[in-house]
Amino acid sequence: MDKTFKPQNAIFCVKIYLDANIYVNYLLGQKGEELAAEAFRRCIGCSFSIVSSPTVFDEVIVACKGNTLLLQNLADSLKKAGKLEILEEGTELHWKAADLNEKSRKKYGLNDFIHALHARDNADLFVTGDLKFRPEAAKIAKTATLREFLASL
């Protein structure tokens, strides 16, 4: 089964799992910031929602050098609009991710597999900007770049 997201097959009321790099681009004003800002605006005003995890937020906090205020403000805005669900993480998920990481010969990071597994189990789509990991992620969950996802709306 092809798990690559095809924009023409998009449906509304989807849950998307955003990779940490999208939050980082937005919060730090990096390349892709405008696209990420558009996604958060459209999420609040549209019929898709975001599923996230402590692992995403931990990665973002590290990338933002411990500054949690920007991330907290964004999360609060999304929660207030009823557009953010934060998942719990158990040891079973981490063991599965570690196993996948080992099978890939640690070519990617453990967190990459945690994200893909969360997306598979809790969202309709894994949206990532990590083009190196995307083919591996597509073996686990449906994937799209942020640009592809937004173009499908």
Domain ranges of the chain: 11-152
Note the pTM of the prediction, 2 decimals.
0.89
Q: How is domain 11-152 classified at the CATH fold level? A: Rossmann fold (3.40.50)
Mean pLDDT of the chain: 90
Instruction: Over range 49-60, report the average pLDDT.
Output: 96
Long-range contacts of 116-120, Cβ-Cβ distance < 8 Å, separation of 24 or more? 116/140, 116/141, 117/93, 117/141, 118/17, 118/51, 118/53, 118/55, 118/87, 118/89, 118/93, 119/17, 119/51, 119/143
* pLDDT confidence of residue 12: 52
pLDDT of 26 over the 50 cut: yes
pLDDT of 110 over the 90 cut: yes
